[in-house]
């Protein structure tokens, strides 16, 4: 699955760039990605819909580092 991030050009015009690929077979439709504050070099993502309350870890090269179930949370789309 390709990860596309929006970058702002100097003139504040949006530009799209393919920056990487997530290699986890569990991530079917990434709905967002965040940089870990606690673990340098780790990104967290979650599926858009049809999944339970999990977040998935990847490194900056898109390598699957595992997942965490968020107990007490519901995945709502």
Q: What is the pLDDT of residues 12-55, one digit of tens each?
A: 656 678 778 899 999 998 888 999 999 999 999 998 878 889 99
* Average model confidence (pLDDT) across the chain: 82
The residue ranges of every structural domain in the chain are 24-77
Per residue, what are the HEC states of the chain?
CEEEEEEECCCCCEEEEEEEECCCCCCCCEEEEEECCCCCCEEEEEECCCCCCEEEEEECCCCEEEEEECCCCCCCC
pLDDT at position 77:
66
Kindly report, residue by residue over 44-71, the tens digit of the pLDDT. 999 887 888 999 999 999 999 999 999 9
Round to whole Å and give the CA distance between 32 and 45. Answer: 6
């Amino acid at each position: 699955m390709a990860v596309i991030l929006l970058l702002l050009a100097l003139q504040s015009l949006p530009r799209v760039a393919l920056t990487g690929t997530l290699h986890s077979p569990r991530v079917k439709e990434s709905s967002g990605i965040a940089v870990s504050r606690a673990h340098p070099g780790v990104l967290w993502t979650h599926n858009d819909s049809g999944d339970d309350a999990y977040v998935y870890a990847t490194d900056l090269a898109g390598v699957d580092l595992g997942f965490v179930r968020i107990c007490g949370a519901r995945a709502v789309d």
